Amino acid sequence: MTAASGGERADARRNRAKMLSVASELFAEHELEVPLGEIARRAGVGAGTVYRHFPTKQALLEAVFVQHLEELVASGERRMVGFAPTQAFFGFLMHVVEKSGRRGHLCEVVAADASWPHPMLTASVQRFRQVLTALLQAAQRVGGVRADLSPDDVVAVAVGCTSMLTTRRDRAAGRRLVQLVLDGLRPSADVTERSVFRDDLVSSPGRVELCADCGVKLPLRPTGRPARYCGPTCRQRARRRRLAG
């Protein structure tokens, strides 16, 4: 092994890192319409250098997303050893949402195109889920997170929060909404006790409401207080009985 070959490999690594950084920023700013030639120009390398590392834009997109996931994995691992379980879990989720917000379209493209070869991406996704699961279970063991949550639930919440944060022009307001949603993952009697929503009553085919006076079937209403009587006559009759009693 010569010093020259070692220097060439170091240069190649630096070029690759520079191209990934530039591509990530350009894709975030201009979505996916950026040509590889523009990425080469911004990174200060030749077009041939880009094509040697990334023969197609799809390969570059996958590499950018893999780098994003690996950065999230590293963040999660640092939090596991540096913070209490509950703080580590919620801090990691907020970090995932904020860092993924600008890359939402990229995530959708990579996830939707099943024709790509994804060995590196698959491995990164698995590592991400392992870290997420470890953080979730540690927080659940100390009672900081609802016990009925699964890693799939948390991923779905994170995706929804990312979308919500992305669509808000006021970043601070969006972040507050995300925090409100994430607070719903904490154990709380107000959160975990199952209450009946008015829409649930309408959508439940087997549920029947009857007039408290005459027993006639009542129509279910999607909003407002549930009806107790079929009309004013039954309501007045029931009132007179209560007064008499």
In this predicted structure, what is the pLDDT of residue 5? 47
DSSP output for 97-130: HHHHGGGHHHHHHHHH-TTS--HHHHHHHHHHHH
Cα(27)–Cα(116) distance, rounded to whole angstroms?
19
| 212: helix, strand or coil | coil
Q: Residue 241 carries which DSSP code?
A: H
In this predicted structure, what is the pLDDT of residue 73? 92
* Predicted confidence (pLDDT) per residue in 116-143, tens digit: 556 777 788 889 899 999 999 999 999 9
Whether the CA torsion 135, 141, 145, 146 is positive or negative: it is: positive
Q: Which residues does residue 210 pair with via DSSP β-bridges, in sequence order?
A: 217
Instruction: Show the CA angle centred on residue 68, arms to residues 62 and 71, nearest 5°.
Output: 140
Q: What are the structural domains of the chain? A: 10-55 (1.10.10.60), 58-189 (1.10.357.10), 201-244 (no CATH)
**Nearest alpha carbon to residue 80 among 155, 124, 135, 158:** 135
* Predicted confidence (pLDDT) per residue in 80-98, tens digit: 998 999 999 999 999 988 8
| 217: helix, strand or coil | strand
* Predicted confidence (pLDDT) per residue in 196-209, tens digit: 444 444 445 555 57
Q: Which residues does residue 218 pair with via DSSP β-bridges, in sequence order?
A: 209
